[in-house]
Amino acid sequence: MTTGDLVNIHPTELKFPFELKKQSSCSMQLTNKTTTQCVAFKVKTTNPRKYCVRPNTGVVLPGDSCNVTVTMQAQKEAPLDMQCKDKFLVQTVVVSDGTTSKEVLAEMFNKEAGRVIEDFKLRVVYIPANPPSPVPEGSEEGNSPMASLNETGSQTASLFDDVSRTFEETNEKSSEAWSMISKLTEEKTFATQQSQKLRLELEMLRKESSKKQSGGHSLVLMLLVGLLGCVIGYILNRI
């Protein structure tokens, strides 16, 4: 915190998360330390095209605070070593009661006899927008990132072997299943053919049996007719 007789300014540095081609903002707070005086302020920068300050002027009532937002325009390239030479200057001066922000003029901050002007210089600091994650320390002595990397590689290789083995077992089971299906299909075809063959043989046997039965009836009939003729002849001869 930067402290003067009139105001306190927090923070003492303007820290911008830096990321190429993206805007970045930070804020500072001005607090009027006095209990009876109104304090006007004005914010300046060494690079006005690069930054936008809202509000850049204003009046802080006794014991009150004002937040100022500073926006850095998107940058096309990063500075060397992420170092920035830009600076901001905050000027404060006591003004009469009832002075509004619109009535704050640049001439009020001219250093003249009988006028007390307080100046506060703030430097700009760039911080990485996405800082790298810290490397966790090993739970046991002697652990190192290289050891962790080797362990991860071993686990990955073991997982790959398990997946390959499972895939091979699945292929073997699939081959056995197809072989069994093919064998059952052949057996079904053979059984169907045998069934048709037996059905034809049974039909032929049925026809032959019918023929034999028909021939047998004719022979019996002829014998009966012959026997009847003999009986009739015998009777006629007796008469």
pLDDT band at 152 (very low <50, low <70, confident <90, very high): low
Residues 6+ apart with CB under 8 A from 178: none
DSSP codes of every residue in 51-67: EEEESSEEEE-TT-EEE
Task: Please give the average per-residue pLDDT across 81-108, as a whole number.
Answer: 94
Query: Do 41 and 159 meet the contact criterion of CB atoms below 8 Å apart?
Result: no
Compute the average pLDDT of residues 17-35.
Answer: 95
Is the pLDDT score of 15 beyond 60? Answer: yes
Q: Which of 70-84, 173-187, 205-219 has the lowest mean pLDDT?
A: 205-219
According to DSSP, residue 74 is labeled: P
Question: Most distant CA pair in the chain: distance in Å?
Answer: 191
Cα–Cα distance for residue pair 88/14, rounded to 1 Å:
9
Name the pLDDT band for 180 (thresholds 50, 70, 90).
confident
Question: pLDDT-derived band of residue 147, with 50, 70 and 90 as boundaries?
Answer: low
With pLDDT > 90 as the criterion, what percentage of the chain qualifies? 47
What is the rounded CA–CA span in Å between residue 55 and residue 11? 17
* pLDDT in the model for residue 182: 75
User: Which tens digits make up the pLDDT trace of 31-61?
Assistant: 999 999 999 999 999 999 999 999 999 999 9
For residue 7, pLDDT over 90 is answered with yes
CB atoms < 10 A from the CB of 38, how many?
Answer: 19
pLDDT of residue 104: 96
Q: Which two tokens stand for residue 82?
A: 């992420």
DSSP 8-state symbol, 105: -
Q: For the CA atoms of the chain, what is the radius of gyration?
A: 56
pLDDT range class, residue 199, cuts 50, 70, 90: confident
Residue written as tokens 């922000």? 101
| pTM attached to this predicted model | 0.55
- Listing DSSP states for 119-155 in one string gives EEEEEEEEEESSPPPPPPPPSSTT--HHHHHHHHHHH
Identify the band that residue 179 occupies on the pLDDT scale cut at 50, 70 and 90.
confident
Instruction: Please determine, for residue 126, whether its predicted confidence score (pLDDT) is greater than 80.
Output: yes
Predicted confidence band at 19 (pLDDT cuts at 50, 70, 90)? very high
pLDDT at residue 139, rounded to an integer: 46
| DSSP tag of 78 | P
